[in-house]
Structure 1
Amino acid sequence: MILQKVNQPQDLKTLTQEELLQLAQELRSEIIRVCAQNGGHLASSLGAVELIVALHRVFDSPRDRLLFDVGHQAYAHKILTGRKEVFHTIRQEGGISGFTKVSESEHDAITVGHASTSLANALGMAIARDTLGENYHVVGIIGDGALTGGMALAALNVIGERKPRLLMILNDNEMSISENVGALNRYFKEYQTKKWVQDTQKWGKQVLEGISPRLFSLVDRAKEAAKLMLHQENPFYAWGIRYVGPVDGHDLPGLIHILEQIKELDGPTLLHIVTQKGKGYGVAEEDPIYWHGPPGFNPQKPEKVSKGYSWSAAFGDAVTELAHKEPRLFVITPAMREGSGLVKYSQTHPERYLDTGICEDVAATVAAGMALRGLKPVLAIYSTFMQRAYDQIIHDIAIENLSVVFAVDRAGIVGGDGATHNGVFDIAYLRTVPNVQIAAPKDALELRAMLKKALELGGPIAIRYARDNVEKAPEGVWPEIEWGRWEVLKEGSKAYILAFGKTLKYALEAAQDHPEIGVINARFLKPLDKGMLEALALEGYKLVTTEDHQKMGGFGSAVLEALNELGLKPDIRVLGLPDVFFDHGSIPRMHREAGIDAAAIRAALAGMGLEVKTATRRV
């Protein structure tokens, strides 16, 4: 195997063209093998294999900086940069990250997990290089819909004005997780099919195969002159950026050749390559949406595996049904149709569905515009991605108390995706904003009740739920809920556990078989149920708060603040995540280490003088 000979990127310099082609196939086999074992970002990484081999053949990492946008297409890069022997640990406890990570390897130029950041990072590195008088290449690789992000487009604007020596590679596979959307995506599709573009590609490849570097600059000048006539066909011309392409992103010899030719050009250059997501693995080519990030599978007989009924599916079912009852309901997603459980909704109510692409800020402000003119928008968004729309939530929605519902998915620790995707800050940054209300349902039925009530109440309301499975709620059932009122699930004689969100299951487990310990579903954080909280404190109950969120600024902090305002000082313990970033791994293990699981709750109660034994059965 050629892969056995490759331990560092420099080893690719000695391989023949035939060996490089074989290496690409071996990399695909290894990516498929490990993703079958661990799950992971399969289709994106398969589509970028030839590009990554070509990059490491032409450039000199880590001296040259290769910046992968999002980072989930970089599995081949990890294998080729000294992590071959540990690649099987990817996304596992104690293993390597599923994204690029500066602290993991000198070959990882940026730590990343969110889209559209690579070009701004690359610009910063190019400016640093030139300011310090250094000499190395900076290459930003962007794709999987990341160019739709406003940050990427804004970076292009600055790059075109500053004009640093910088290579940008647009890995165009027409996909994010689902199909790309927007005018720019439509342009690229149409551009690739124009006959003059295809003819120019063929002619250009023939010319480049025999051209000398000296003559290349003359050809480049001629091409720039041609742009004066053809600039309307090239949106990058307006940015002052040299455009090359589109070229076949799976033609490895061709990629190597063109990278060699353009890498020394002055100023910013964008190379547009066309790839197929899931390349080389039939099922992933046919269905790149499912195979974008599948769970484990049998590589010899790959089949779709049911992941169970998730909170995302519960939300999707509820909002689809609710839209039949409320004609003003309109659902928005920033490129998360599948992840947010909205496939059925988008098919059932296409006229009241909008995918803004990877533009969370745009999605929030579009929702504001809708609310201002009488619609009832629901923005389905991951907790970790909502961070990117924080100013819009304050400036465009909260100040005027607009009726926007935030369906906050992936709230809490998420597991394999790690620090960049953990939704553990949303309570802290939302509850400080006037007019914003925050709730967390205990089950799918309560989620339905909250969605219905939120649309009736108006104002900005965030309903957060975990990346987890939940029992399906019956269709057509819409229970009423007393907004802002907590729910006593188990009576106690000495103490109560106040649980918000996912940790409710730990509270029930800790209190099981212990009549002195009560459990409260503290489902409303803002407004807080101060009436019940005051009654518990006045009656002398010991209290423990639990949450799958940073302790600092979270639910427990809100309870302490309320007690202080009431002038009450009960015996209370606050359990939440410590002031650190949690890496990838098992959710139960991280909850245990963070001290928010059932054992931690029992330990907190014991520290208050209540001996609580382990339950005989789990809830």
Structure 2
Amino acid sequence: MGSVLDQVDTPEDLKRLSEAELLQLAEELRSEIIRVTAQNGGHLASSLGAVELIVALHRVFNSPTDRILFDVGHQAYAHKLLTGRKDRFHTIRKEGGLSGFTKVSESPHDAITVGHASTSLANALGMALARDLRGETYKIVAVIGDGALTGGMALAALNKIGELQKDLLIILNDNEMSISQNVGALNRHFRTLQVQKWVQDAERFGRGVLERISPKLYEMADRAKEAAKLVLHQENPFYAWGLRYVGPVDGHDLKSLIYLLEHLKSLKGPTILHVVTKKGKGYKVAESDPVYWHGPPGFDPQNPQKIKKGYSWSQAFGDAVTELAHLEPRLFVITPAMREGSGLVKYSQTHPDRYLDVGICEDVAVTTGAGLALRGMKPVVAIYSTFLQRAYDQVIHDVAIENLDVILAIDRAGLVGADGPTHHGVFDIAYLRTVPNLTIAAPKDALELRAMLKKALEVGGPIAIRYPRDTVDPAPEGVWPEIAWGTWEVLKEGREAYILAFGKTLRYALEAAGEDPRVGVVNARFIKPLDEAMLARLARGFKLVTVEDHQAMGGFGSAVLEALARLELKPEIRVLGLPDRFIEHGGIPSLHAKAGIDAAGIRRALAALGVTLTASEPA
């Protein structure tokens, strides 16, 4: 048998394949996912775990007429390969290539653009309302993981879906994992619903025997099974929501999946099919460690080894709070399902009584922090910039109004590379600096991060400390330098101009200035409040360039211009930041260069001010 994948250009091609060919197709899809992810990095384990499910969905439903929604979208690599993108699949997550998630503008088969969890069910409900109002009859299928289903947005949507009783199918893809281990009461209940393997095997065997002996006998047994399920699952929460529940079933049994989907697609009202899958299925290393292989960098598929990624800002944060917790007994760390990503594995093991993972519920993380602060604790909410967007109201309403002692440790601030516009952390300065009582800081290195965290515990109030997705030199243990709160730091003196930068852009500023005595560099480490005393001094005698890995609109440069207007100062100034558009995925240095916030872009801005530098000058 030749390659089956070569014969598939659209989902329609799956409908003429035999059962044996479909099984071979699943293996070929896994091989291609492993091959390309080994080259590009990407979402490996989650995509491998969903292969049979995606093959079955495209065999039974008619995409793009029928709408198949993938929550988060990082499990949809097989979907991309089956929907006319296999010739471009090698470009996934590369600049100018395919997105690592589903994206409406990329393909008519991608029902939603997504990168954050728990959004599929509300989208599906909206589509069902539109379909019925317009008198259309297409099917809607939402595929959501057990981790994403615990998110508040998903649960609220389920509540409304149960009330409105619209025709849609929800696939609960239950692999017991999101990125971190799933948590919560609902997750524990999923475990009780998972039927043991021997029961599923016996069910499949019995079904086959009965079908061969007598279709009528099989039909009677099937009705008896459904009646028994109604009795056995009275405590199933989905019934309380008014949702039909089917399962759990083996998510890697392709024949059974196709059989079930064929029957379920004709049912009226909302149905949940509970599918149990194994993250990393078919690739031993990914099965054995689905956390690391959820999103690995490139690797050798024949000899897959964990790659040491270097010491990261996330690790620097995790090490700092682990040590700080020994010094400050009131310190308490909260994460919304990002223990590994936020560098908190060691902390969670060292201080388990002062650690909480709330699951994929960013709003709950922030407001839980508020509750802790109201009773005298010192909470630190470790959260990615892109996910903090989902808790903006809680930052204002629950934390800032009462000026509570909550530290927001904002990871992945700035452009993050291959994950693209759904994950770039380029809005937090703009949406946070308008909030009264809130301080925003950005350390230049791991030692300054430690200084800011320790001082933040002493200063109190809502404080956001942002740092990039990048490597950083480790800070020595036990060292806690003092920092003058709210002040900037001159790293290099200049005679004609100063570059005001912070965080990741400091590297570019120092490279651009080189050894030229005309240009100075300032570590503008406090974004709110600005160091207006230093700003006023510089504005009276020097030309200025601000540079940030953030949207220019509403960002640090905007804050500087507003301050200069208040101070009635009019220096020659250029503001460098990201343009007013969503930045696509790609390598971070390349994206920075295109946005003009790298060393070359800074030199161009200085040249426009009459200070011409050359790239050949030593850094």
Aligned twin of 1:543: 544
Structure 2 counterparts to residues 108-127 of structure 1, below 5 A: 108-127=110-129
Deviation by residue 1:47-98 (Cα, 9 ceiling, x = unmatched): 0000000000000110100000000000000000000011000000111000
Contact preservation (8 Å) 1:311, 1:465 = yes
In 2, the alpha carbon distance for the partners of 1:518 and 1:25 equals 58
Structure 2 residue corresponding to 1:406, chosen from 405, 408, 429: 408
Structure 2 counterparts to residues 411-560 of structure 1, below 5 A: 411-538=413-540, 540-560=541-561
Aligned twin of 1:369: 371
TM-score (norm 2): 0.96
In 1, the alpha carbon distance for the partners of 2:210 and 2:487 equals 71
CA gap of 1:374–1:218, structure 2 versus 1, over 3 A, is farther
In 2, the alpha carbon distance for the partners of 1:13 and 1:490 equals 67
Q: Does 1:314 align with 2:316?
A: yes
- Which 4+ stretches in 1 moved above 4 angstroms? 193-228
**Cα offset, 1:484, TM superposition:** 0.2
Which AA in structure 1 matches 2:566?
E
Structure 2 counterparts to residues 297-376 of structure 1, below 5 A: 297-376=299-378
Contact preservation (8 Å) 1:69, 1:141 = yes
| Secondary structure at 2:15 match in 1 | helix
TM-score (norm 1): 0.96
CA gap of 1:215–1:269, structure 2 versus 1, over 3 A, is farther
Aligned twin of 1:236: 238
CA gap of 1:177–1:447, structure 2 versus 1, over 3 A, is same
Deviation by residue 1:572-602 (Cα, 9 ceiling, x = unmatched): 1100001000010011111111111111111
In 2, the alpha carbon distance for the partners of 1:491 and 1:470 equals 24
CA gap of 1:458–1:208, structure 2 versus 1, over 3 A, is farther
Which AA in structure 1 matches 2:284?
G
Aligned twin of 1:32: 34
In 2, the alpha carbon distance for the partners of 1:402 and 1:216 equals 63
In 2, the alpha carbon distance for the partners of 1:213 and 1:68 equals 35
In 1, the alpha carbon distance for the partners of 2:286 and 2:98 equals 24
Q: Percent identity?
A: 76
Contact preservation (8 Å) 1:213, 1:261 = no
Contact preservation (8 Å) 1:9, 1:61 = yes
In 1, the alpha carbon distance for the partners of 2:172 and 2:547 equals 45
CA-based RMSD = 2.1
Aligned twin of 2:389: 387
Deviation by residue 1:346-398 (Cα, 9 ceiling, x = unmatched): 11111111100100001111111000011111000000000000001111101
**Cα offset, 1:613, TM superposition:** 1.3
Aligned twin of 2:81: 79
**Cα offset, 1:178, TM superposition:** 1.7
Q: Which 5+ residue runs of structure 2 have no aligned equivalent? A: none
**Cα offset, 1:409, TM superposition:** 0.3
CA gap of 1:371–1:425, structure 2 versus 1, over 3 A, is same
| Secondary structure at 2:409 match in 1 | strand
In 2, the alpha carbon distance for the partners of 1:80 and 1:436 equals 48
Aligned twin of 1:588: 589
Which AA in structure 2 matches 1:575?
L
CA gap of 1:446–1:207, structure 2 versus 1, over 3 A, is farther
In 1, the alpha carbon distance for the partners of 2:574 and 2:87 equals 44
**Cα offset, 1:476, TM superposition:** 0.6
| Secondary structure at 1:419 match in 2 | helix
**Cα offset, 1:207, TM superposition:** 9.2
**Cα offset, 1:188, TM superposition:** 1.0
Q: Which 5+ residue runs of structure 1 have no aligned equivalent? A: none
Aligned twin of 1:2: 4
Which AA in structure 1 matches 2:159?
N
In 1, the alpha carbon distance for the partners of 2:159 and 2:206 equals 28
CA gap of 1:510–1:464, structure 2 versus 1, over 3 A, is same
Contact preservation (8 Å) 1:102, 1:111 = yes
How many residues end up aligned between the 2 structures?
617
CA gap of 1:600–1:572, structure 2 versus 1, over 3 A, is same
CA gap of 1:442–1:213, structure 2 versus 1, over 3 A, is farther
CA gap of 1:205–1:575, structure 2 versus 1, over 3 A, is farther
In 2, the alpha carbon distance for the partners of 1:67 and 1:212 equals 38
Contact preservation (8 Å) 2:195, 2:248 = no
**Cα offset, 1:611, TM superposition:** 1.2
